[in-house]
């Protein structure tokens, strides 16, 4: 399987699943010197992990077995401390403050790519590879070429959304062997390459550290018990009338319908009501009808660009606010003053549903990933005049 014409060394992040296993095997087949690395993050420490967890003891055993099968070394890297400080703690803090964080972006940027690239350089590896469905390439810029990331060839598996925080400087060091494949093709490759142990394995879930308990219970167990975010409070309609009582803001997110209680349906004439905003200062939950979830503007925090020549004020590009969600054309404006130091305001050509504080606004130019920002608030979502 391994070519005699050697290529550079590549450090492959191996979760023990079929995707990263096939990525490692394909790189071996292409002649790279492969080193496997599984990150010890969270899932297997104290509680039984979800069977879909990405870093359980079983997952480590599977990754090690694949490395032995293919004949390359495998190591376990203990990233549990930075995972706690850079991913878990900001996630918990965000939920307690009334937002819905997207921790996968930070995990990818800080750990799965940032620290892992440093680790690769320390052991003499030229590249880091993962089983993400995304494509790496180049675009013309001036008289030269600029490294860039692109959506996967098949939209149903595209994972570029989760990589918007990855630093531009490390893009030349990244390899994504699965960017042109479908999931069925990857499973077929696993069978062809003799990786039967992982060929039919379940996919890992998005929030590997949460499991079946749900994120509110996780936050409560992580020190949130007794916090104001778990205290009951009023459910208010768009005019401010009390229509019910919530069970703690940490248990809700924008766009949610389940868990509001049937009695509040009378406030809308029987039409379904959805969460339109969390108001932690008043410990209140705002609700409205489906049309009141639509927003044509949003405000973000600081911007992160993977392009050295990002859009200028007033220029348009595509924005996506949810993994596998729709994209719409947006125009970019400074949030304050003449630059983007404080973030931006996005005006949308078509409304987006449930623009959620704490989530990601990810920017694209055709198939190219440009960068992104964290959403701070929607503008015009619902009809109550309130910022956060």
Per-residue pLDDT at 233: 95
**What one-character-per-residue DSSP string does 116-151 give?**
HHHHHHHTT-SEEE---SEEEEEEEETTEEEEEEEE
Helices (H), the chain: 18-29, 57-70, 80-83, 89-96, 103-107, 116-122, 183-192, 196-199, 215-219
**C-alpha span between 86 and 151 (Å, rounded):** 26
Per-residue pLDDT at 225: 74
Identify whether the C-beta of residue 272 lies closer than 8 Å to the C-beta of residue 290: yes
Residue 385: how many other CB atoms lie within 10 Å: 5
Identify whether the C-beta of residue 295 lies closer than 8 Å to the C-beta of residue 379: yes
Between strands 134-141 and 127-129, the pairing is unpaired
Identify whether the C-beta of residue 95 lies closer than 8 Å to the C-beta of residue 219: yes
**C-alpha span between 29 and 250 (Å, rounded):** 48
Per-residue pLDDT at 381: 65
Per-residue pLDDT at 141: 83
Per-residue pLDDT at 387: 37
Per-residue pLDDT at 6: 66
Task: Give the pLDDT confidence of 63-115 residue by residue, as tens digits.
Answer: 999 999 999 999 999 999 999 999 999 999 999 999 999 999 999 999 999 99
pLDDT along the chain (388 residues), means of 10: 67 95 97 95 57 70 94 95 94 95 94 94 96 95 89 96 97 97 96 90 73 83 84 93 93 92 64 92 94 95 92 94 95 85 92 97 97 92 44
Which residues are marked as active site? Answer: 107, 208
β partners of residue 364: 318, 369
Per-residue pLDDT at 58: 85
């Amino acid at each position: 399987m391994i070519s005699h014409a050697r290529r550079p060394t590549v450090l492959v992040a191996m979760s023990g699943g079929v995707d990263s296993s096939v990525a490692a095997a394909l790189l071996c087949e292409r002649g790279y010197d492969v080193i496997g690395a599984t990150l010890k993050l969270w899932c297997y420490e104290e509680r039984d992990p979800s069977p879909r967890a990405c870093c359980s003891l079983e997952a480590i055993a599977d990754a090690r077995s694949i490395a032995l099968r293919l004949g390359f070394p495998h190591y376990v890297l203990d990233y549990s401390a930075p995972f706690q400080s850079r991913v878990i703690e900001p996630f918990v803090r965000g939920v307690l403050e009334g937002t819905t964080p997207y921790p996968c972006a930070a995990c990818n940027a800080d750990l799965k790519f940032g620290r892992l690239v440093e680790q690769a350089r320390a052991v003499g590896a030229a590249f880091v590879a993962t089983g993400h469905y995304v494509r790496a390439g180049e675009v013309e810029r001036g008289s030269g070429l600029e490294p860039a990331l692109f959506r996967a060839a098949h939209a149903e598996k595209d994972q570029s959304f989760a990589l918007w925080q990855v630093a531009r400087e490390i893009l030349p060091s990244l390899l994504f062997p699965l960017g042109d494949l479908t999931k069925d093709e990857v499973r077929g490759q696993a069978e062809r390459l003799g990786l039967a142990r992982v060929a039919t394995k379940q996919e890992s879930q998005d929030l590997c550290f949460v499991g079946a308990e749900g994120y509110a219970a996780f936050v409560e167990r992580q020190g949130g018990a007794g916090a104001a975010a778990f205290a009951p409070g009023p459910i208010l309609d768009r005019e401010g009338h009390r229509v019910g009582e919530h069970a703690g803001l940490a248990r809700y997110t924008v766009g949610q319908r389940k868990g509001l209680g049937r009695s509040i349906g009378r406030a809308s004439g029987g039409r379904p009501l959805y969460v339109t905003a969390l108001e932690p200062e008043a410990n209140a939950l705002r609700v409205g009808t489906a049309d009141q979830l639509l927003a044509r503007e949003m405000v973000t925090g600081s911007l992160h660009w993977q392009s050295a020549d990002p859009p200028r004020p007033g220029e348009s590009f595509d924005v996506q606010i949810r993994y596998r969600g729709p994209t719409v054309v947006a125009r970019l404006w400074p949030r304050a003053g003449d630059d983007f130091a404080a973030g931006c305001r996005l005006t949308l050509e078509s409304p987006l549903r449930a623009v959620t504080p704490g989530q990601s606004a990810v920017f694209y130019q055709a198939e190219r990933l440009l960068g992104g920002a964290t959403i701070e608030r929607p503008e015009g979502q619902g009809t109550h005049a309130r910022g956060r």
